Amino acid sequence: MVAVLGETTGCLALPNLRDKMKNHPEGYRILQERPRIRLSTLDMARLQGLPEGSLGREYVRFLEDNKVSPDTRMPPKFVDDEELAYVIQRYREVHDLMHTLLGMPTNMLGEVVVKWFEAIQTGLPMCVLGAAFGPARLSSRKLQVLATELVPWAIRSGLNSSCVLNVYYEQRWEQPVESLRAELGILPPPAVRV
């Protein structure tokens, strides 16, 4: 249902995201080549063998630690334009890379922080709704950490960083996460336990 909501409410945000990609050299290449992040396209053994701190190694660690798979991302069903359908698919497939770049787990607090970042980055209504209503299930202690440290950081990072859909992640597996964060303008994550 979250995927359907993203598709059916993204009619303004998706063309904007596509245009950002078209106007960026790396984003344009992604739109032209349409790479997919799936187990069938990833060399997991190679990624596991990359140095600690590299995007590929940390992405595999994230997938393993959280017992998630890139294959759980459903293909779009309610976006008629082929290019816009790819943009929403790409957004879905890089979601776990956002967790990796932001250093956020898949628990409720981590998901809400990622949704705040994605809401600022993408303008997708489902991200805005997730950011706004996700905290309803958090304890008062976690709400305080979210409000005082994590949301301000996610908003600053989202505003400060370039469009994360313009990164050809598949060609950057060897790049250190810290280097990619700096390149994109993502601020270092707060030193709080999430």
The binding site comprises 95-96, 99, 111
pTM for this predicted structure: 0.92
Average pLDDT estimate for 72-82:
83
pLDDT in tens, 100-124: 999 999 999 999 999 999 999 999 9
pLDDT in tens, 14-63: 999 999 999 999 999 999 999 999 999 999 999 999 999 999 999 999 99
pLDDT in tens, 130-171: 999 999 989 999 999 999 999 999 999 999 999 999 999 999
DSSP codes joined into one string, the chain:
-HHHHHHHH-TTHHHHHHHHHHTSHHHHHHHHH----STTT--HHHHHTSPTTBHHHHHHHHHHHHT--GGG-PPPSS--SHHHHHHHHHHHHHHHHHHHHHT--SSHHHHHHHHHHHHHHH--HHHHHHHHHGGGGS-HHHHHHIIIIIHHHHHHHHHHSPPGGG--GGG-TTSBHHHHHHHHTPPPPPS---
pLDDT band, residue 7 (cuts 50/70/90): very low
What pLDDT score was predicted for residue 125? 87
The binding site for Zn(2+) comprises 95-96, 99, 111
pLDDT band, residue 75 (cuts 50/70/90): confident
